[in-house]
């Protein structure tokens, strides 16, 4: 489990206190995921620490090779694209639950 409480920037996070499911929506095999991140992305667009959040996610994902949920307003695929440039080198698997 990731504990964000030790991160200074998280004090200013717009998502503080919000439901984790907004940022980490459950998905089911065979069910469209279109729009599942829309609400989170709207929140992130107005977040003053979005850059730090994204950088943190990219750093963790580099170490863990795990991608899930919205960080810094970016979806797992968008972060994967940033990291691998669309080469398909990333792994889209689950990430431990987030403590917000």
Residue 81 CA to residue 4 CA, distance in Å, equals 24
57/54 Cα distance (integer angstroms): 5
> In which element (H, E) is residue 2 found?
strand 2-3
**Which residue reads 């994902």 in tokens?**
61
37 binds ligand SF4 (CB under 6 A): no
Does 22 engage in binding with ligand SF4 (CB under 6 A)? no
- Report if residue 77 touches ligand SF4, rule: CB under 6 A: no
Interface stretch with ligand SF4, choices 8-16, 27-35, 59-67, 77-85 (CB under 6 A):
8-16
- Kindly state the smallest distance separating residue 24's Cβ from ligand SF4, in Å: 10
């Amino acid at each position: 489990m990731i504990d964000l409480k030790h991160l200074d920037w998280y004090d200013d996070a717009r998502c503080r206190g919000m439901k984790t499911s907004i940022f980490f929506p459950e998905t089911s095999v065979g069910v469209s995921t279109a729009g599942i991140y829309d609400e989170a992305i709207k929140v992130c667009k107005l977040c003053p620490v979005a850059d730090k959040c994204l950088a943190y996610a990219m750093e963790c994902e580099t170490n863990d090779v795990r991608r899930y949920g919205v960080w810094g307003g970016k979806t797992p695929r968008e972060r994967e694209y940033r990291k691998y440039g669309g080469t398909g080198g990333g792994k889209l698997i689950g990430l431990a639950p987030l403590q917000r």
